[in-house]
């Protein structure tokens, strides 16, 4: 399987696209350029910490405990992907757009629903966590854009208002 196809599958897994087959397909043809990825190549000195929880109908809030968390570069292509999802569409990568997957950072939510990323380069990022409950299929993802400074800590709280289905 090519790196490009693996990158596309990882995007869909990160944003939790359960049931996207019923959505209208929209090609995303925005090319990923080296210039746009340059800030993500630099060594980072910032930290991103946070937590995620959602209210479950008729039940207490559920955290992201045990779920993978992604920091994804907030570049034009990824912005277009997320905008299409928020519009209820099924984004489909166009030919020869490239991939930003090698710049993604991964973590896992702890038992309290908290996560941490160290050595993050200064840039705009998306924090994304697929939403899953043990007794149900994927429901979508919580996604929030954050601006990371050169040095310091960014605290992110993901909740119902950040849900993308």
CATH number, residue 125: 2.60.40.10
Q: How many domains does the chain have?
A: 1
Nearest-CA neighbor of 160 among 131, 136, 134?
131
Full domain range(s) for residue 145: 3-164
79 φ, ψ (degrees, to nearest 5) = -60, -45
Q: What is the pLDDT of residue 24?
A: 81
Q: What is the pLDDT along the chain (165 residues), one digit of tens a residue?
A: 333 333 343 444 444 444 445 778 999 999 999 999 999 999 999 999 999 988 777 677 788 889 999 999 999 999 999 999 889 899 999 988 989 999 999 999 999 999 999 999 999 999 999 876 555 555 678 999 999 999 999 999 999 899 887
CA dist 98 and 2 (Å) reads 12
Q: What is the pLDDT of residue 11?
A: 47
Residue with tokens 């908290």: 114
Q: What is the pLDDT of residue 137?
A: 57
pTM over 0.95, yes/no: no
Q: What is the pLDDT of residue 53?
A: 87
Beta bridge partners of 105: 71
Say if residue 121 is exposed, middle or buried (CB neighbours under 10 Å; 0-12, 13-18, 19+): buried
């Amino acid at each position: 399987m090519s790196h490009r196809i693996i990158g596309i599958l990882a995007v869909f897994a990160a944003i939790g696209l359960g049931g996207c087959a019923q959505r209208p397909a929209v090609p995303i043809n925005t090319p990923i350029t080296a210039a746009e990825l340059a800030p993500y190549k630099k060594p980072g000195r910032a930290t991103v910490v946070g937590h995620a929880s959602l209210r479950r109908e008729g039940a207490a809030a559920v955290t992201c405990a045990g779920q993978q968390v992604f920091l994804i570069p907030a570049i034009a292509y990824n912005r277009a992907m997320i905008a299409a999802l928020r519009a209820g569409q099924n984004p489909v990568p166009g030919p020869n757009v490239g991939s930003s997957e090698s710049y993604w950072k991964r973590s896992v939510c702890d038992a309290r629903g908290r996560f941490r990323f160290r050595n993050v380069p200064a840039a705009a990022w998306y924090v994304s966590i697929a939403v899953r409950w043990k007794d149900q299929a994927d429901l979508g993802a919580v996604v929030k854009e954050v601006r990371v400074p050169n040095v310091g800590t960014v605290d992110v709280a993901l909740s119902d208002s950040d849900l993308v289905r």
